[in-house]
Amino acid sequence: MTSDTYLLGTEPLELERLRLQHELWLPEARRAWRRADLAPGERVLDLGAGPGFVALELAREVGPAGRVLGLELSASYVEAARALGRGLSQLEVRCLDLSNDPLPVEPFDLVWCRWVLMFLPEVEPLLDRLAASLSPGARLVIHEYIHWSSFGLHPHGEAVGRFGAAAMASFQRAGGDTDVNRRLPSLLTARGFRVDELLPLTMVGRLGDGVARWLERFVTIYGRELIRCGQWSEDDGRRAEAEMATARQDPGSFWVGPTLMETRATRWAT
């Protein structure tokens, strides 16, 4: 993996996987922004912006009078995000390590974060920095997992299930916490945020639909990486591919995605 430190890598296949994942989850993200009253002219911070798919949508939401600042660890994703946002003066993307670097000193009305905190070995220092930099009234909208192990293919996805367990173990081994959102509400409350709403978000797919393709692609792409690192077997990889091919034709088979939670909170105290 020629990763610039993002566990899942930044190669074209992973970028395309992120695009598919983003397209699938965009309606849910938009519903979250409505619930958080995101409005034109607002200033948004996008934590762990990846290749910029969401930052671009956020920039359209806030319009030219607003501002979106995306922060991202991977230099190649920063470059991709900048190319995507070319021509939109309200969008800026910077290379920054959320684990160690100070946050930009400027006011934000809303902070958006999806599938990022799960990769950080420690979230507390970032939450401390966020609490210190946000003014009362600033909103936080987070989409992170609470039950990653709900991932699976049913009723005949035994090898896919073993892939899921290997993937989870690899995230933990790299210092992340797949179910980080189980801890966020209490960590935020302790730092002067009011938790406004907690919403479970999950997806079910079948017969090669968008959800099925998203989860299949994850098994195929990350499976190769796990095999390369000796954390999953070639034999099981072939079994998983066969299970997925069968499920594509079987109206009784279905996929369940890892369960996310939307955590919406407001900074209320200094």
Ligand X SMILES: C[S@@+](CC[C@H](N)C(=O)[O-])C[C@H]1O[C@@H](n2cnc3c(N)ncnc32)[C@H](O)[C@@H]1O
Phi-psi region of 63 (alpha: psi -120 to 50; beta: other; left: phi over 0): left
Residue bearing tokens 């499920």: 247
Task: Return left, alpha or beta for 112; rule: phi > 0 is left, psi -120 to 50 is alpha, else beta.
Answer: beta
Would you say 71 or 159 has its CB closer to ligand X? 71
Phi, psi at 74, each rounded to 5° = -80, 125
Q: Which stretches of the chain bind ligand X, using CB under 6 A?
A: 6, 18, 22, 48-50, 53-54, 72-74, 77, 97-99, 114-116, 119-120
Q: Distance between CA atoms of 197 and 140, rounded to whole angstroms?
A: 11
Question: CA torsion, points 182, 185, 187, 193, in degrees to nearest 10?
Answer: 160
Q: How far is the CB of 36 from ligand X (least distance, A)?
A: 16
Q: CB of residue 98 vs ligand X: minimum separation in angstroms?
A: 4
Is 120 or 160 the residue whose CB approaches ligand X more closely? 120
Region of residue 109 (phi > 0: left; psi between -120 and 50: alpha; otherwise: beta): alpha
Tell me the closest approach of the beta carbon of residue 248 to ligand X, in angstroms.
25
- Least distance to ligand X, CB of residue 269, Å: 26
* Residue (33 or 115) nearer to ligand X, CB: 115
Cβ proximity to ligand X, 74 vs 170, nearer residue: 74
Residue number closest to ligand X, CB atom: 50
Residue with tokens 């099981």: 236
Q: With beta carbons less than 8 A apart as the criterion, state whether 258 and 183 touch.
A: no
DSSP secondary structure code for residue 121 in this structure: S
CB atoms near residue 99 (< 10 Å): 14
Q: What's the rounded Cα separation, in Å, for the pair 18 and 115?
A: 11
How far CA 8 is from CA of 134, 153, 224, in Å, comes to 30, 21, 11
Nearer to ligand X by C-beta: 97 or 235? 97
Residue among 73 and 188 whose Cβ is closer to ligand X: 73
Q: Which is nearer to ligand X, 99 or 149 (CB)?
A: 99
- Smallest distance, ligand X to C-beta of residue 207, A: 25
Which amino acid, residue 12?
A: P
Cβ of residue 97: shortest distance to ligand X, in angstroms? 5
* Minimal distance, residue 256 CB to ligand X, in Å: 19
